[in-house]
A and B are shown apart, each in its own frame.
Chain A
Amino acid sequence: MNAPLALLLLRGTLAANGLRLALTLASIALGVALAGAVHTVHTSALAEIDRAAHALAGKADVEIRGPRSGFDDALFARIASRPEVLAASPVVEIEAALANGADRLRILGIDALRAVRLQPAFVVDAAKTGAGSVERLFDERAIWLSPAAAATLKAREGDALTLLSGSEARALRVAGILAGMQAGGELGVMDIAAAQSLFARVGSISRIDLRLRPGVDLARFRADIAGLLPPGVVASAAASLSGRAAAISRAYRVNLDALALVALATGAFLVFSTLALQAARRRQEFALLRALGVTRRGLALILTLEGALIGAVGAAIGTALGLYASRFLLERVGGDLGAGFFSAARSAFTPDVAALAFIAALGIGMSIAGALWVARAVGRIEVAEALRDRAVDLPRASATGGKLAVLLVAAGIPLLFLEPIAGLALGGYGAIGAWLAASVLCVGPLCRALLARAAPPDAPIASLALAQVRHLPGHLAASVAGIVVSASLCVSMAIMVHSFRVSLEEWLTGVVGADLYVQSPSTSSAFSAEDLRSLAALPEVASIEALRFDRLVLDADGPPVTLIARPINARILDGFQAQPRGLPPPGPDIPVWISEAARDLHRWKAGDRIRLPIAGRETPVVVAGVVRDYARTWGAVLMPAERYRALTGDTGANDLAVHLARGVDAKAGEAAIHRALPRARGLAFEDAAELRRRSLAIFDRSFAVTYALEAVAALAWSRRREFGVLRFLGLTRGDVLRLLALEGAASGALGAALGLVSGIAISLVLVHVVNRQSFHWSLEVHWPFSTLIALMVSVIALCAIGARVSAAFAVRKEAVLAVKDDA
């Protein structure tokens, strides 16, 4: 095989049905686009976070950070005075609500004279900072905005800016725009003492940024100061936020990447089935080439080049589409595609060229792999027989296909029990891949077995349809295999998503037991004890459950754990589906309930005695049980509110769960609360927790449709000569169309049935292994019967309709021409 000859023969691909080729290219392009877009969006978001983290860190080497509620600012002096420290800067971080109550602004309270040495961008006119400008820097009503914040708030120097502290409004003045904080995201900077006073954080700081003297070893320094740090306060490398964001969101990102790659694999499978069905049509051509002296390897090369060409063109189109789509998604949906892992800050478009090239290469590689598989079958063509045109079916699949399918099914089983690797459910993915491959491999033997047993129906057209399909088992297998793959994926996703939704709804029904939920305007503000007493006294209110949140830092590198202090009783525990059920007997130990994620990530279990850093002290607690928590993937701990208050003296609440008096509706309750707290602003009211949904259905359906149409269209085209013969025998055009529709429906039914079985198996892996290991959520399997029935009916109907439509094109020409069609 030489290059000019190969290029000459590649025309055979282009001479094939243009619509089929276009659909094949589109499927590869769609798969590459999806994978590329998802990856680019996430990469851009993480790059933005990394830029912001480094911008905020400035010249700092180390950051010391603690819980969201902060830690004693007396620590600053002890750290800053150490000989290893060249410069130190204390920071208070507050998420404040704006006057409208809906928007938030991240505020950093800094000591400007110290911060200017580490993060000069925090201080406007840093070069001129000195005695003359001190008064302005320490103005307690002054706030400086980053360019992004100024743009979002449409604020300029001198404008007024009203923030909510607790639920009270505080008027500030925009003192300037920090031109050097372009990459810092949306934030405001003010004097630390002003921030502490304004937001009730006196005596508390959130972070200490340090720059070490040259030659000081970072790891050694961290070890040396470990004893100085109170529980829940850790030292880590500066800009560690980006690493933590990546870690927290990794399972989500990997799962979306896997889903997108599945789309790519499905598109690649379409390439395989297109080439396989084309191989049937070009069977005599391939036999001729073998007779003229083309070797098996040469023939394989031609097919491989075809696959590579389709893959390359599809990948190029897909990459361009993916880049466009990712820009669109970044602007409209955000860097986490709506999952809530990253802030709503806009992410700059930052494509990862290497990853995109890899995805494109993957698309091309999958196409080539499909082509090679077809080449193996083409190599088995009986040349002499094919030249005689005695057999128009695809070459019979290798006899080992069925055995390989069984082996793959068996091989998938131990993979289900593999522990997650680097937090990823690789064993589960492997099992899914093995079982999907097995379902494809067993299509051929199953088709043959079913066809051998099917009794011929009485109706002549139906009988002819069955006979035709029996005559071409290879065609049937190639068509059905494609339907099986897409149907499997559709079914498995439908079951998994439905199971998740029903499990979530049941969980929400249990945990969302109150009539009305009230949220304070920001995480840094709270309802005071007086607020709570006022509300509890309302005649419209039967009872109030106050919830207090904090974020506990257990180690420098891992994600934080959310502490939820709230009333806990048997009803609440039932709602959270706690195991074991019920309250422990009263005793001196502080009981806590951990989420499944906390159990998996920290290897805690019921009965364990653990220590949690609460209010700066290592607090011994006992794990009383494990609860379900679908709201957080990084772990949560529930503690009885009264025990929390006793430990910390903190009587505030972030959220309230309000049980209204009989006959009082949510609107009346809301109005009563507003009257009770007249100065409160920015309170958020809602009567149900928010559900998060993924939109997979459109993606699944369009692939199934594409595949079904393509497979049946190919089947119809390669049989054009038989149509002509049938017309000569006296079948009307309508009879031929009904024949094809029946064959299409039969293919669709077979593919749908096999896909259903395969899809159910894969769904169980998704629910019990992938979901569990990725997000640490347990789900019950719920069967979306109506969706599955609709899916099966849709596949069958689309196959039948597609066959009829494509047959209408095929039989449009006179029968004479069809028979004369020799090549």
Chain B
Amino acid sequence: MLEVRRLGKTFGPGNALFEAVDLDVARGEWVAIVGESGSGKSTLLNIVAGLDQPDRGEVRLDGKPLDFGDDDALALWRRRHVGFVFQSFHLLAYLSVRENVALPLALIGIHGSEREQRAQDALQAVGLGSLGARRPGSLSGGEMQRAAIARALVHAPRLVLADEPTGNLDESNAGAVLACLRDAVKRAGAAALMVTHSRLAAAASDRVMRLAGGRLFPEPR
């Protein structure tokens, strides 16, 4: 579903972050990318998300290439087809948990009772069905990340991108969040790409790739 072909990114002359990166992620597959700090993992993720521009190469989702020259088109594409899980959760403090989860639905024009119901179902799926009316600030870190996972998948995206989803969590919460994320991704049948430092997170994925020396290699388990 996700195809990355000969992707390259440089920062300044003669300073290539990565070059000729190829990657395929199938529907329902969860791929983790690991690597040293500064290797370009997050940059690679941002390019796949359409939030950064590559210097060469292309990204395709279901055979359709991303037009990196059209910012609005990328935003609309993300709206419909991408779900995000961030290290810092990024829930809006002035919305309730349910409203946060429902935000992607509102963006694609789903309102009223359908939006409410789908958001509640998403919360239920991650075990937060009774916390929808609360504010994010009253939740624990693990609960906030699960709410973020619900938000990432509520609109049935084809691609889920996770940037250090367990970076701010202790081991116990990290395990629960990873299980939640895996379950949600498989249920949705989305392709999932995760960037992580955590061995635990990498182990939870279907396949691990290492970004090193500007290239992407399969990481032996």
Q: Which residues of A are in contact with B by a Cβ distance under 8 Å?
A: 2, 4-5, 8, 11-12, 14-15, 284-285, 288, 290-298, 383-384, 387-389, 821-823
Contact = CB atoms under 8 A, between A and B. Distances in A.
A823 B72 contact: no
Interface string B89-100: 111111100010
B113 to A, nearest CB: 13
A280 to B, nearest CB: 16
A296 B51 CA distance: 13
B57 to A, nearest CB: 18
A11 B51 contact: no
A420 to B, nearest CB: 48
Nearest to A285: B92
Nearest to B108: A293
A289 B95 CA distance: 13
B89 A822 contact: yes
Contacts of A284: 88, 90
Given A2-B106, A291-B51, A295-B75, A387 B86 contact: yes
A2 B109 contact: yes
Contacts of A285: 92
Most B C-beta atoms less than 10 A away, residue of A290, A292, A387, A388: A292
Given A4-B106, A293-B75, 20 more contacts: A2-B109, A5-B106, A8-B95, A15-B94, A288-B86, A291-B49, A292-B84, A292-B103, A292-B104, A292-B107, A293-B76, A293-B77, A293-B78, A293-B104, A294-B75, A295-B76, A821-B137, A822-B91, A822-B144, A823-B90
B5 interface: no
A823 B51 contact: no
A389 B144 CA distance: 18
8 contacts: A14-B94, A288-B92, A291-B78, A293-B79, A294-B79, A387-B90, A822-B144, A823-B90
Interface in B78-127: 78-80, 82, 84, 86, 88-95, 99, 103-104, 106-107, 109, 111
B8 interface: no
A130 B110 CA distance: 85
Given A15-B93, A291-B84, A384 B46 contact: yes
A291 B99 CA distance: 17
Given A12-B94, A822-B88, A296 B71 contact: yes
B136 interface: yes
B173 interface: no
Contacts of A294: 75, 79, 107
A379 to B, nearest CB: 9
Interface residues of B, number: 36
Nearest to A8: B106
Given A4-B106, A295-B71, A823-B136, A288 B90 contact: yes
B52 interface: yes
B42 interface: yes
B85 to A, nearest CB: 11
Interface of B: 42-43, 46, 49, 51-52, 71-72, 75-80, 82, 84, 86, 88-95, 99, 103-104, 106-107, 109, 111, 136-137, 144, 163
Contacts of B90: 284, 288, 387, 823
Nearest to B136: A823
Nearest to B151: A292
A278 to B, nearest CB: 12
A231 B137 CA distance: 86
A562 to B, nearest CB: 65
Contacts of A297: 72
A383 B94 CA distance: 21
A295 B104 CA distance: 13
A755 to B, nearest CB: 35
Q: Which of B43, B88, B90 has the most CB of A within 10 A?
A: B90
A15 B93 CA distance: 9
Nearest to B83: A292
A298 B99 CA distance: 19
B74 to A, nearest CB: 9
B71 A293 contact: no
Contacts of B163: 387
A298 to B, nearest CB: 8
A312 to B, nearest CB: 21
Contact of A296 (B42, B72, B88, B89): B72
Contacts of B92: 12, 285, 288, 823
A295 B86 CA distance: 20
Contacts of B103: 5, 8, 292
A650 to B, nearest CB: 80
Contact of A5 (B71, B80, B84, B107): B107
Contacts of A823: 90-94, 136-137
B80 A293 contact: yes
Contacts of A822: 88-89, 91, 93, 136-137, 144
Kindly list the 3 A-B residue pairs having the minimum CB-CB distance in the complex, ordered from nearest.
A293-B79, A823-B93, A15-B94
B52 A384 contact: yes
A345 B88 CA distance: 69
A14 B80 CA distance: 28
B97 to A, nearest CB: 12
A52 B68 CA distance: 71
Nearest to B137: A823
Nearest to A287: B90
Nearest to B84: A291
Nearest to A379: B71
B51 to A, nearest CB: 5
Nearest to B75: A295
Most chain A CB neighbours (cut-off 10 Å) among B51, B91, B94, B144 = B94
A293 B88 contact: no
Contacts of A388: 42
Nearest to A5: B106
Nearest to A288: B90
B190 to A, nearest CB: 16
B46 A292 contact: no
Contacts of B111: 2, 4
A581 to B, nearest CB: 71
Nearest to A1: B107
A14 B106 CA distance: 20
A285 B111 CA distance: 21
Given A290-B75, A294-B75, A296-B72, A11 B107 contact: no
B136 A292 contact: no
Contacts of B72: 295-297
Contacts of B95: 8, 11
Contacts of B104: 292-293
A14 B86 CA distance: 26
Contacts of A12: 92, 94
B98 to A, nearest CB: 12
Contacts of B43: 384
Of A11, A293, A298, A823, the most chain B CB neighbours within 10 A belong to A293
Contacts of A2: 106, 109, 111
A14 B51 CA distance: 29
Contacts of B106: 2, 4-5, 8
A645 B95 CA distance: 86
Nearest to B78: A293
A387 B136 CA distance: 17
A12 to B, nearest CB: 6
A2 B42 CA distance: 31
Contact of B94 (A5, A11, A291): A11
A495 B136 CA distance: 54
Nearest to B111: A4
A538 B107 CA distance: 94
A293 B84 CA distance: 11
B88 A292 contact: no
A4 B116 CA distance: 13
Nearest to B94: A15
A14 B93 CA distance: 12
B161 to A, nearest CB: 9
